Amino acid sequence: MNRKNVVKLADGVYWISIRDWNRRLFDALISLPNGTSYNAYLVTGGSLNALIDTVNPGFEGDLQAKIHAVTNPEDIGYVIMNHAEPDHAGAIPYIMKIASDAKLVTTSRGVKLAQTFYGVPQERIKTVADGETLSLGGKTLRFIEAPMLHWPETMFTYVEEDGILFPCDFFGSHLAMGVYSDEVEDLLVHAQRYWGEIMMPFRAMAQKALEKLKPLNIRVIAPSHGPVHRNPKIILDAYRRWANGETRPKATIMYVSMWGSTESMMDQLAETLASEGVELAIHNLALSDVGDIAKDLVDSRAIALGAPTVLGGAHPLAVYAAYLVKVLRPPAKFAVLLSSYGWGAAAIKQIQEVLGQQNIEVVGALEVNGPPAEEAEKRVAELGKMLSKKILEVS
């Protein structure tokens, strides 16, 4: 890594990113096939400098070297904590020690987190309100509260003179490569995966934040993971679609099968859906990646979940998938549940209990004893046609 590699986004605005090529897991849950980056930014004004977000613990020295390529780290006047999660705030104690006169800037909800997680004393915290501005001399930072995107304290920072928005996780993607989004193939696929994993449960809050951003003349969006968007319309349009829960005529099929009976039913369902013109994303839960599933749930109009009964309930991988659907709260409107059992049916009841109250209409459910015989196959095909009709009827 070139420790001094910084990118000038505008006069006095610098991308000082740490690329973590080797990271493969986030939150002990989310796989990172492409690594990730922790993007901090430096804004230098005529009278003061501000560091916007920091980096993951372990990269403090690299961040210091990058800051040093632009200015003396001791001269930082403000450390802006857009978000308190350690991948962006973990280097705060290190930087606050070097920049011994710096104030930490956060929302009222961020104060306690800054104290609890990073030991920042009250007298070094500057609390800002929604819409408040801070002048660095020729650079004006505007703070925009964005609660629950995806922690309670989150805010965005906007540099008014340059039209650059720093939204931390929002608009991000877990990618170590690239500086600008137009340099990365299929950037929206990565961004959709990120949305599904991190932001999808908070669609209502995302809608509110997007409304707040409408009056701003945003020329660049500089998130804290992945590339910078210098044509922000593309990601803004995608976020509007995802936040509004716009779906496609698509079904995400998730299943686990021990001896092929459930798989056979899911195959039949998939064939029927495909023949009716429904787009499919199929995930064998024993093989699939959670991030890929989350990505497909973002714009699927329907889900189908298949599992055998084992040990008196649904196969544990299907319970996990149902729980993911419950907590990620995708915009799917319809579902079909299929199961096979040996001597006692229990999977579908348990899956429905795990799913709980969702705005998802279960179009049909079927539990079959043993491998599906001809009658069961016919019933699965009927369910496929019913589900297709529902999916395709939505305009």
Stretch of residues binding ligand FEO (CB under 6 A), selected from 61-69, 85-93, 210-218, 306-314:
85-93
Residue 70 in contact with residue 16, Cβ under 8 Å? yes
> Closest distance between ligand FEO and the C-beta of residue 55, in Å?
10
Site membership for ligand FEO, residue 88 (CB under 6 A): yes
Residue nearest to ligand FEO (CB): 85
> Closest distance between ligand FEO and the C-beta of residue 154, in Å?
8
Q: Give the separation between CA 193 and CA 43, rounded to whole angstroms.
A: 30
**Contact pick of 83, 193, 250, 283 for ligand FEO (by CB under 6 A):** 83
> Closest distance between ligand FEO and the C-beta of residue 224, in Å?
6
Measured from the CB atom, the residue of 92 and 319 that comes closer to ligand FEO is 92
Helix (H, G, I), strand (E, B) or coil at 220: strand
Residues in Cβ contact with 260 at an 8 Å cutoff, skipping those fewer than 6 apart: 371
> Closest distance between ligand FEO and the C-beta of residue 167, in Å?
11
Measured from the CB atom, the residue of 148 and 280 that comes closer to ligand FEO is 148
Measured from the CB atom, the residue of 56 and 252 that comes closer to ligand FEO is 56
Site membership for ligand FEO, residue 20 (CB under 6 A): no
Stretch of residues binding ligand FEO (CB under 6 A), selected from 84-92, 184-192, 251-259, 270-278:
84-92
Applying CB under 6 A, what is the total number of residues that bind ligand FEO? 8
Q: Give the separation between CA 187 and CA 175, rounded to whole angstroms.
A: 9
Measured from the CB atom, the residue of 194 and 334 that comes closer to ligand FEO is 194
3-state helix, strand, coil in the chain (%, to 5): 35, 25, 35
Q: Give the separation between CA 41 and CA 224, rounded to whole angstroms.
A: 9
> Closest distance between ligand FEO and the C-beta of residue 350, in Å?
32
Measured from the CB atom, the residue of 173 and 264 that comes closer to ligand FEO is 173
Report which of 165, 168, 127, 163 is spatially closest to residue 149, judged by C-alpha positions. Answer: 168
Measured from the CB atom, the residue of 62 and 169 that comes closer to ligand FEO is 169
DSSP 348: H
Residue 65 φ then ψ, to 5°: -65, -40
End-to-end CA distance of the chain: 49
> Closest distance between ligand FEO and the C-beta of residue 84, in Å?
9
CA angle, corner 170, sides to 165 and 176, nearest 5?
95
The sign of the torsion formed by the CA atoms of 173, 175, 176, 178 equals: negative
Report which of 217, 232, 230, 238 is spatially closest to residue 178, judged by C-alpha positions. Answer: 230
Measured from the CB atom, the residue of 169 and 367 that comes closer to ligand FEO is 169
Stretch of residues binding ligand FEO (CB under 6 A), selected from 82-90, 212-220, 293-301, 323-331:
82-90
Residue 52: strand pairing partners:
41, 80
Measured from the CB atom, the residue of 169 and 296 that comes closer to ligand FEO is 169
Report which of 95, 93, 49, 94 is spatially closest to residue 71, judged by C-alpha positions. Answer: 49
> Closest distance between ligand FEO and the C-beta of residue 199, in Å?
10
Interactions with ligand FEO, residue window 151-170 (CB under 6 A): 169
H/E stretch holding 270 reads helix 261-275
Annotate each residue in 168-207 with x if it binds ligand FEO (CB under 6 A) or - if it does not, as one string.
-x--------------------------------------
Site membership for ligand FEO, residue 85 (CB under 6 A): yes
Stretch of residues binding ligand FEO (CB under 6 A), selected from 80-88, 123-131, 238-246, 376-384:
80-88
> Closest distance between ligand FEO and the C-beta of residue 283, in Å?
25
Q: Give the separation between CA 164 and CA 158, rounded to whole angstroms.
A: 6
> Closest distance between ligand FEO and the C-beta of residue 50, in Å?
19
Burial pattern 124-150, b for ≥16 Cβ within 10 A else e, equals: ebeebeeebebebeebbbbbbbbbbbb
What residues make contact with ligand FEO under the rule CB under 6 A? 83, 85, 87-88, 150, 169, 224-225
